[in-house]
Amino acid sequence: MTQVNGRPINRIVILTGAGVSAESGLATFRDSDGLWEKHDPMEIATPEAFERDPALVYRFYNARRNQLQDVEPNEAHRSFARLQSQFSGDVFLVTQNVDDLHERGGSEQVCHMHGQLNSMLCVACSQAQPVPGDYDGTTYCPACGVAGKLRPDIVWFGEIPYQMDTIVSMLRNCDLFIAAGTSGVVYPAAGFVQEALAAGAQTIEINREVSEVTGYFHQQRCGVASREVTALVEELLAD
Ligand code: OAD
């Protein structure tokens, strides 16, 4: 039986953030070379910004989606996928990342609480669609045929993340919560560790530096995700 700090582990919830994709070459948000250093999030990642300057917002997300063609998953993505496929209990993976590197690293279940770059949302028919290529304020929705109503399928500041009911129920039933590569600044994700703690779970943080919510974790493993995630997964699978 796998144990952490002497406690048996059957159900694991993993939360990932931009730090997990950093070694693949995707910029994080809040590091010194991060996306929010170069762009004001209030000019890009809010419904109001999209209303004010949709062309800028389409450009930003088209560029980020196109960048996915030039990057590959790293050992952290692959190790989490290995945990999901080989662990004897349940492993639920929730990510704040909007890239597709967990899937390409082999994960079959990924909950994208902040949406996905490879998806676009039609506000006329409410359908999410795969993105066929660059799109903008003139593109027709492939589902309902209405033009000019497609937006990035990204949860912006002020919007409610996807699948919160499922996530909260997983947190309330887990024995181990792992957060990797996230600064612990953006809620509700930053509060997941407290939810898991309240449920009696063991909590482990993996990050290059301690996060804003580090005090809620039983263990801090400081270092790059590719190395630290791989080491932790090996420990969990060895028991
Ligand atoms: P942040 O950019 O806020 O934090 C990334 C964290 O990863 C930082 O704490 C870094 O120290 C750490 N880090 C960087 N490189 C790492 C590495 N190689 N290994 C391990 N850790 C590393 O990104 P998030 O916490 O994911 O939302 O940001 C949360 C949300 O804020 C995002 O989903 C995004 C953003 O606004 C939306 O766009 C809706």
Q: What is the pLDDT of residues 32-88, one digit of tens each?
A: 888 888 889 999 999 999 999 999 999 999 999 999 999 999 999 999 999 999 999
Q: Decide if 114 is catalytic.
A: yes
Tokens of 71: 């990057």
- Position 1 scores a pLDDT of 82
User: What three-state secondary structure class fits 136?
Assistant: coil
Q: What percent of the chain has pLDDT over 90?
A: 94
Model pLDDT for residues 212-225, shown as the tens digit of each residue: 999 999 999 999 99
Q: Considering 77, 102, 112, 114, which one is annotated as catalytic?
A: 114
Tell me the CA–centroid distance for residue 181 and ligand 1, in Å: 6
pTM check: above 0.95: yes
User: Ligand 1 centre and the CA of 14: distance in Å?
Assistant: 15
Tokens 């999209």 -> residue: 50
Q: Give the C-alpha separation, 235 to 4, whole Å.
A: 9
Ligand 1 site, CB within 6 A: 17-19, 22-23, 28-31, 34, 41, 45, 96, 114, 155, 181-183, 185-186, 207-209, 211, 224-225
Mean pLDDT of the chain: 96
Instruction: List, in order, residues 6 or more apart from 121 with CB less than 8 Å away.
Output: 127, 128, 129, 150, 151, 152, 153
Residue 45 exposed, middle or buried by CB count within 10 Å (0-12, 13-18, 19+): buried
pLDDT at residue 12, as a whole number: 98
Three-state secondary-structure class, residue 8? strand
